[in-house]
Amino acid sequence: MDYGEVRDEVDLVVPVKTLDRAKTRLTSATGGDPVSHAALALALALDTVSAAVATPGVRRVVTITSDPAVAAEMAALGVESLPEPPQPGLNEALLHGARTLRSSRIGALQADLPALKPDELQAALEASAGRRAFVPDRQGTGTTLLLAAPGGELDPRFGVGSAGLHRLSGAVALIGAWPSLRCDVDTEEDLRLALALGLGTRTANALPAWTT
């Protein structure tokens, strides 16, 4: 295989929790209303995936989710969903996706990047230059994107302090001027920052009243 041609082309797995369990740290942002909360969590994922699909170096996007509502909305974007494996947990879900896809190059993208710009994701793919690499979140502690090397293992270590764990596991930290790729939305403060960066249309339409 000529890795020179494929090394910037990647298949991305995007994990999405069931909407009733997702984004608990954002619960206060929607005033505790479960319907508004689920709509916001779904919008975050749809905007993230839409931007990923529009990125030239991304060949395929697949979500890992057990939520039929998420799978149906993703299908409307032309994105396939795989159910979660029997083993619980984010890393298990990502490993299951990576094993199922058997891609020439695999990556994991978090589903809470509602300001994501395709040109910033593309720039990160190019900066990885075919290495196993990751993009830390804006605080530098979490991970928003993990890329395997072409033909290599993803070896995901998401969870608390994942940036440090990915670094320790030998992945290269990619730090660029990619604010939309580094702005994962866990809290109200993150949502305000993403709003300032320019939200995708679905999240903009699902925003709680306090943002307007």
Cα 113 to Cα 25, 100, 110, 116, 158, distances in angstroms: 15, 24, 7, 5, 16
In whole angstroms, give the CA distance from residue 96 to residue 159.
17
Binding mask 72-111 for ligand GTP (x = CB under 6 A): ------------x----xx--x----------------xx
Residue closer to ligand PEP, measured from CB, 8 or 185: 185
8 Å CB contact between 114 and 197: no
Which residues in the 79-108 window bind ligand PEP by CB under 6 A?
90
Report the side by side order of strands in the sheet with 172-173. 80-82, 58-64, 10-15, 106-109, 143-147, 133-136, 172-173
In whole angstroms, give the CA distance from residue 63 to residue 75.
10
Query: Is 114 a binder of ligand GTP (CB under 6 A)?
Result: no
Who contacts 99 (Cβ-Cβ below 8 Å, separation ≥6)?
none
Q: Give me 154's structure tokens.
A: 């993803």
Measured N-to-C along each axis, helices 34-53 and 68-76 cross at an angle, to the nearest 10 degrees, of 40
The residue count for binding ligand GTP (CB under 6 A) is 17
The answer on whether 78 is annotated among ligand-binding residues is no
Q: Which range touches ligand PEP (CB under 6 A), out of 100-108, 136-144, 170-178, 191-199?
A: 136-144
Which residues in the 12-51 window bind ligand GTP by CB under 6 A?
15-17, 22-25
The answer on whether 200 is annotated among ligand-binding residues is no
Query: Is 140 a binder of ligand PEP (CB under 6 A)?
Result: no
Neighbours of 18 (CB within 10 A): 15
Interacting residue with ligand PEP among 31, 159, 170, 176 (CB under 6 A) = 159
Query: Is 64 a binder of ligand GTP (CB under 6 A)?
Result: yes
The answer on whether 162 is annotated among ligand-binding residues is yes
Residue set of the binding site: 143, 159, 162
Residue set of the binding site for phosphoenolpyruvate: 143, 159, 162
Residue numbers of the site for ligand PEP (CB under 6 A)?
90, 137, 142-143, 158-159, 162, 184, 186
